[in-house]
């Protein structure tokens, strides 16, 4: 049965793409780059990214649901587009790989320090492969189950309530950021939202009933809400200086929880977020797959998927240490922010030109 | 083929080969000689002749009832002349057959073939052999009806008719098994079941090519969409009340002659956790039972694996108060936790399998021996730790809480995968293994509907009768997965 994605699944899919391991470092990222009460700035950035999503909505409406490829190929030659597709495909493989690998490098800070990280990454890539060979509808279903498995962790923030002090939020706004340029700093925080732009690849898999953008917006706002809750908890739990110096404040926050039958829940909660990275990696691989499929439409099933996951695995060899991985990840995510804004604008321009031409043609007739 | 051509062939999809549909062969007109030839050398084959009226009768001795034989064959033909035979054969129970294959199938089904002049007639004189209706041993309930299906399909359908007195209940007869020719009956309520699902089910059953399909649990493996999945995709049950409740919900049921269980579809993963018992209790108790089963499911798949993970890699997760006991208990054990857990889990599985195979009286001995061996002796011998025994035993008990035996067996098997992954990568391995199961489940469908309904695709209304057992006043619509044209419960639109 050719089933279409529903708004709820799109929402959970977007939530899972955006909500990955960045969450664990987010309070530090915000404190470092935005200064005191950075969470307000974070809300502002959430609104900016919502604006970006609206650009995609314009593309969807103007293009009447046509895919990005259909829109571009109507106006531009394949000789120009195919190299761009290929370049983007490689780029998405890189993001997929860096996002996936980053998780395991952080994971090795907590446990399995002596294990070969590439072995763990190989197992992860096998999971990505099995998810990628399924239709996007099934990926959405898996993302929904994974989302349910992560949502309950938000309840753990209630354990911090006893130690939460309003005074720690301070009365200053955006003071003492750790240096650097403002735009660069804020862009660094913005990377935590990256993922919503993949909605453009879902155009062929939805119909009007799916309410694609309702799903994307809800998913995005849900992410923002969850992260604001975490940020507020962290800002009131740790002092500002602590936040700036702790590498992964959420891990320390979880460390604080002690239950009668279990301690150190970060060992469990942290690994649950592997599903966030799994969906992120899979969806970036899916974006890459969409590009490659456009270039080679007549391929046997599962072959391209294998090559892409193989690519993800091989690129994984490139980042060996955590600092290196963080640096690479930041580089590709900055580029992705650019793409997220430029792509819909470009598409809107192409669509406007197409409309103009159509109008001129009809006048001539 | 050179190397480039091979690579191209690997990646590029070629045109699919056209499959040719074989025309069914035309069978010849039934003849006495041909029929005798088919059955010769078989001791139960009976050929009666009535030369005075030129009638020949053929049947299989052990399939027919004496009373029926006397009434339909011996009495009418013994002293009849040809004219009287003509009158007898014009009665409605004597059906003319023109196809020799149909004639032979009829005899195999307990009918008698009557050869008179050039015509052949079949008359049903079968007396089915089988046990009377008894309680199902695999699915017992405390309150509610106790009868279970039996091996005879006629009896089963009779029981169903008695419970579901609706002219809309339809039975469709099909046949499977190249050699055994088992009768399969599809049952559904017209107007409640989705006709597309009924048609699709019939198509799939007709496509089966196998020499013998002897049980419902076997049949469903031929018709499911994911034959390599570890999870059952059709619900099978031995309880008539369960089948009735599925039918009125708009599902389609099926029976195989010779099998005491019927199957229903479409089915989702979570349906396997509900029991007819839930509806015979107050709704709050029914809900508590369902929640208990889901907790049981979580314990079954993860408790032992979590033990392995914690004792191998994450000792820091154990609170101080428990740590001393655990280390003391583990100190004597010479094996790593993974090996220890696998040993114990295998022993439990051996016990379970032995208990299932042995007669009830001997089965009790197994329980005692097993209890002493794995309970006390294994710990005293330093073979395993006390806490692992608790983990393994709790997981085993929890697995039996799941009402469907087939689902429970599947879950017990995947548990081994989880334990091994927990032994390799601790909590991460455990979560990754659970992730793999979820990925697999997300791809499974049953009759075109998602196996994870109502979780994905999400449906809050259906959750009322899945994760909990909502009160009857709240259960107002039929489940969405059945895609029924008649969504509202309580009404039978004509």
Q: Residue ranges of the domains in chain B? A: 32-124, 153-265, 283-449
Q: What is the reported pTM?
A: 0.89
Q: Cβ–Cβ of B457/A272 closer than 8 Å? A: no
Q: Select from B309, B456, B461 the residue whose CB has the most chain A CBs within 10 Å, as the one to mutate to test that interface.
A: B456
Contact B432 A304 (CB under 8 A): no
How far apart are alpha carbons B122 and B94 in whole angstroms?
Answer: 6
List all residues 6 or more positions away from B237 whose beta carbon is below 8 Å from its beta carbon: B139, B243, B261, B262, B263, B264
- Identify the structural domains of chain A with CATH numbers, from first to last: 7-364 (1.20.1740.10)
- φ and ψ of B329, to 5 deg: -70, -35
Q: Do A111 and B431 touch (CB under 8 A)?
A: no
Give the 3-state secondary structure of residue B119.
strand
pLDDT of residue B490: 67
Facing residue for A263 by CB, picked from B319, B441, B443:
B319
Task: Give yes or no for residue B8 having a pLDDT over 80.
Answer: no
Distinct helix (H) and strand (E) counts, chain B = 19, 12
Contacts of B431 in chain A (CB under 8 A): 271-272, 274-275
Report ipTM for this prediction.
Answer: 0.94
Q: Return averaged pLDDT per consecutive 10 residues of chain A, 365 residues in all.
A: 78 92 89 90 94 95 92 91 95 96 91 90 97 94 94 88 87 80 87 93 87 93 94 92 91 86 87 94 96 92 94 94 90 94 95 92 81
Whether A120 and B457 lie within 8 Å, measured CB to CB: no
CB contacts under 8 A, A 91-110 vs B, are 107
Contacts of A268 in chain B (CB under 8 A): 317, 427
Residue among A127, A258, A301 whose CB faces B439 most closely:
A127
Give tens-digit pLDDT for B399-410. Answer: 999 999 899 999
B95-96 and B111-116 as β-strands: parallel, antiparallel, unpaired? unpaired
Contact call for A271 and B313, based on CB within 8 A: no
Give just the sign of the alpha carbon dihedral A31, A36, A42, A45.
Answer: negative
Report the C-alpha gap between A144 and A214 in whole angstroms. 16
**Is any Cβ of chain B less than 8 angstroms from the Cβ of A258?**
yes
Q: Cα–Cα distance between A365 and B114 in angstroms, integer?
A: 82
Backbone angles phi, psi at B64, to 5 degrees: -105, 155
Residues 6 or more apart in contact with residue B5 via CB below 8 angstroms = none
Which residue has 């009402």 as its token pair?
A: B403
For residue range A82-130, what is the model confidence (pLDDT) as tens digits?
999 999 999 999 999 999 999 999 999 888 888 899 999 999 999 999 9
The helix/strand/coil state of B303 is: helix
Q: Say yes or no for a CB contact (<8 Å) between B10 and A272.
A: no
pLDDT at res. B20: 47
- Mutation for B interface: A267, A270, A279, most B CBs within 10 A: A267
Distance CA B295, CA B370 (A): 26
The verdict on a CB contact (< 8 Å) between A107 and B448 is no
Interface of A with B in 12-71 (CB under 8 A): none
Cα–Cα distance for residue pair B420/B418, rounded to 1 Å: 5
**Residue showing tokens 């030109």:** A353
pLDDT tens digit sequence for A344-356: 999 999 999 999 9
Given an 8 Å threshold on Cβ–Cβ distance, is A6 in contact with B428?
Answer: no
Strand partners, B135: B147
Given a cut of 90, whether residue B371 has pLDDT beyond it is no
Torsion of CA A297, A299, A300, A304, to 10 degrees: -100
Give me the DSSP letters along A322-340: HHHHHHHHHHHHHHHHHHH
Contacts with A278 from chain B: Cβ below 8 Å: 435
Q: Classify B256 as helix, strand or coil.
A: strand
- Distances in Å between the Cα of A181 and the Cα atoms of A41, A185, A190 are 15, 6, 14
The residue whose two tokens read 């409605």 is B92
């Amino acid at each position: 049965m050719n089933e279409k994605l529903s708004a709820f699944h799109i929402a959970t899919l977007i939530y899972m793409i955006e909500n990955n391991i960045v969450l664990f470092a987010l309070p530090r990222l915000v404190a470092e780059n935005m200064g005191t009460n950075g969470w307000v700035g974070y809300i502002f950035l959430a609104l900016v990214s919502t604006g970006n999503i609206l650009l995609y909505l314009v593309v969807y409406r103007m293009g009447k649901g046509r895919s990005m490829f259909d829109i571009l190929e109507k106006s531009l030659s394949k000789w120009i587009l195919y190299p761009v597709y290929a370049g983007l495909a490689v780029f998405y493989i890189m993001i997929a790989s860096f996002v996936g690998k980053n998780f395991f490098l952080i994971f090795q800070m907590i446990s399995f320090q002596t294990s070969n990280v590439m072995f763990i990454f190989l197992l992860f890539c096998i999971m990505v492969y099995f998810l990628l060979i399924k239709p996007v509808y099934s990926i959405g279903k898996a993302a929904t189950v994974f989302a349910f498995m992560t949502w309950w962790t938000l309840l753990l923030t209630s354990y911090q309530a006893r130690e939460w002090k309003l005074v720690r939020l301070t009365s200053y706004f955006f003071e003492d950021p750790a240096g650097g340029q403002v735009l660069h700093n804020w862009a660094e925080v913005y990377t935590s939202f990256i993922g919503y732009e993949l909605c453009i690849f879902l155009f062929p898999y939805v119909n009007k009933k799916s309410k694609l953008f309702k799903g994307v917006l809800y998913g995005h706002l849900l992410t923002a809400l969850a992260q604001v809750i975490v940020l507020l908890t962290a800002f009131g739990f740790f002092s500002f200086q602590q936040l700036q110096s702790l590498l992964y404040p959420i891990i320390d926050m979880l460390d604080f929880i002690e239950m009668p039958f279990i301690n150190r829940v970060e060992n469990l909660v942290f690994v649950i977020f592997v599903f966030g990275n799994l969906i992120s990696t899979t969806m970036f691989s899916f974006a890459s797959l969409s590009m490659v499929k456009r270039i080679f439409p007549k391929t046997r099933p599962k072959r391209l998927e294998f090559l892409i996951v193989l690519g993800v695995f091989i690129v994984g060899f490139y980042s060996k240490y955590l600092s290196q991985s963080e640096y690479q990840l930041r580089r590709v995510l900055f580029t992705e922010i650019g793409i997220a804004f430029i792509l819909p604008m470009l598409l809107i321009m192409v669509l406007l030109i197409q409309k103009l031409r159509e109008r001129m043609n009809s006048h001539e007739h | 083929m050179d190397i480039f051509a091979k690579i191209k062939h690997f990646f590029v999809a070629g045109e699919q080969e056209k499959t040719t549909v074989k025309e069914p062969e035309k069978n010849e007109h039934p003849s006495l000689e041909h029929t005798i030839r088919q059955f010769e050398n078989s001791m139960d084959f009976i050929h009666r002749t009535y030369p005075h009226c030129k009638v020949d009768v053929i049947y299989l001795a052990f399939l027919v009832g004496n009373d029926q034989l006397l009434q339909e064959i011996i009495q009418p033909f013994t002293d009849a002349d040809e004219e009287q035979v003509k009158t007898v054969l014009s009665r409605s129970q004597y059906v003319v057959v023109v196809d020799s294959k149909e004639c032979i199938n009829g005899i195999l089904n307990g009918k008698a073939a009557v050869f008179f002049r050039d015509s052949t007639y079949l008359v049903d004189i079968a007396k089915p052999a089988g046990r009377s209706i008894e309680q199902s041993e695999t699915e017992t309930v405390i309150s509610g009806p106790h009868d279970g299906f039996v091996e005879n399909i006629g009896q089963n359908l009779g029981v169903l008719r008695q419970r579901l007195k609706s002219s809309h209940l339809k039975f469709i007869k099909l046949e499977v098994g190249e050699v055994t020719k088992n009768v399969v009956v599809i049952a559904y309520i017209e107007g409640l079941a989705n006709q597309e699902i009924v048609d699709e089910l019939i198509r799939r059953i007709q496509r089966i090519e196998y020499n013998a399909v002897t049980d419902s649990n076997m049949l469903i493996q031929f018709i499911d969409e994911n034959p390599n999945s570890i999870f059952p995709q059709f619900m099978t049950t031995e309880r008539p009340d369960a089948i009735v409740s599925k039918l009125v919900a708009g599902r389609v049921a099926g029976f195989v002659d010779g099998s005491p269980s019927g199957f229903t579809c479409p089915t989702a993963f979570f349906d396997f956790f509900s029991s007819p018992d839930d509806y015979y209790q107050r709704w709050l108790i029914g809900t508590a039972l369902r929640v208990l089963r889901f907790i049981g499911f979580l314990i079954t798949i993860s408790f032992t694996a979590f033990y392995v993970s914690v004792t191998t890699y994450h000792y820091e997760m154990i609170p101080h108060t428990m740590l001393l006991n655990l280390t003391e208990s583990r100190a004597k054990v010479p094996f790593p936790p993974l090996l220890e857990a696998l040993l114990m889990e295998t022993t439990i599985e051996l016990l379970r399998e032995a208990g299932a195979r042995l007669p009830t009286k001997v089965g009790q001995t197994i329980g005692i021996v097993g209890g002493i061996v794995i309970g006390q002796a294994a710990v005293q011998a330093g073979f395993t730790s006390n806490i692992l025994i608790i983990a393994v035993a709790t997981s085993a008990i929890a697995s039996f809480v799941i009402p469907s035996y087939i689902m429970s067996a599947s879950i017990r098997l995947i548990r081994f995968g989880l334990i091994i992954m927990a032994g390799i990568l601790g909590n991460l391995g455990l979560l990754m293994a659970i992730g793999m199961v979820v990925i697999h489940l997300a791809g499974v469908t049953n009759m075109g509907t998602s196996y994870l309904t109502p979780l994905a695709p999400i449906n809050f209304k259906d959750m009322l009768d899945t994760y909990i057992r909502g009160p009857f006043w709240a259960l107002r619509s039929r489940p969405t997965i059945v895609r029924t044209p008649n969504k509202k419960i309580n009404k039978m639109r004509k």
